[in-house]
Amino acid sequence: MGESKTRQIFLISFVILFLIGFASSLPHYLYDGVCIQMFTPFPFASIVIVDQFSMKNLDTVTLKNMMFIGFVCVAIVILNIFMFRKLRQRKTLNSNSQKSIIQNANIERTLTRTMIILLIPLLFHLVLAVSLLCKIYILAPSLLSHILVLRPVLLDLRVHTVTLYFYFKHPIFSNVKLTIKVSGSQNLKSQIS
C-alpha cells in the first residue's frame, strides 16, 4: 500500500471518528447539568456533575458506552492479530536467522502482555456499565461509588504500566552492547634524509 493511500485512509478514518464523537456528545451538550451527591467512600458533600440527558436516558447512555467499549476491545484484538500476522510474515522471510526468531518471539510476548494490560481497564469499565444496566446501584449504592473511584486510577495505571512495560521489555529498547576487539600492530619508520 502506498503512502498516499495510507494517508487517505488515515484522513477518512479521522473525519469519521470525529463525526461519531461529535454526534454522540451532542445530546449531552444540549441538556442542562445536574449535581448529584456521592455515597460513602467519598467525603460528605462530594458531588458528581452529569447532564440531564444521562439521567433521563441512563439505559441508552449505558448501552452506548457498552457498545463503544466492545468496539474498542475488538479493535485492540484485531490490531494485535494484524501485528502477529505481520510478524509471522517477517519470520518466514528471515527463517534462517536465529536472532530474528528470538526477537520475534519477544515482540509477540510483549504485544500479548500489552494487549492484556490495555484490556483490563476496559473490562472494568464494562463491569461498570453492566452494573448500571442491572441497577446494582439501587441494591448497593456504595459499590457504584467504589467503582467510580477505581476507574480513573486504573485508566492512569494502564497508561503508565503500558509505557513502562513496553520500554523495559520490547527488544527495540534493549541495551545491546557492541564490543569491538581491535588487535594489530603497525610499524612506523621515519626516514631522515
d(CA 186, CA 159): 56
pLDDT at 19 over 80: yes
pTM above 0.85, yes or no: no
pLDDT at 1 over 80: no
- What is the arithmetic mean of pLDDT over 83-96? 70
Confidence of residue 23 (pLDDT cuts 50, 70, 90): confident
Lookup result for grid cell 456499565 = 129
pLDDT (tens digit per residue) in 154-187: 777 877 887 787 777 766 666 655 556 666 656 6
CA dihedral 108, 114, 118, 119 (to 10 degrees): 50
Q: DSSP letter at 42?
A: S
d(CA 140, CA 72): 29
Q: H helices then E strands: how many in the chain?
A: 6, 2
Q: What are phi and psi of 134, to 5 degrees?
A: -85, 0
Lowest mean pLDDT among 43-57, 87-101, 119-133: 87-101
- What is the arithmetic mean of pLDDT over 84-113? 71
Check: CB of residue 66 under 8 Å from CB of residue 126.
yes
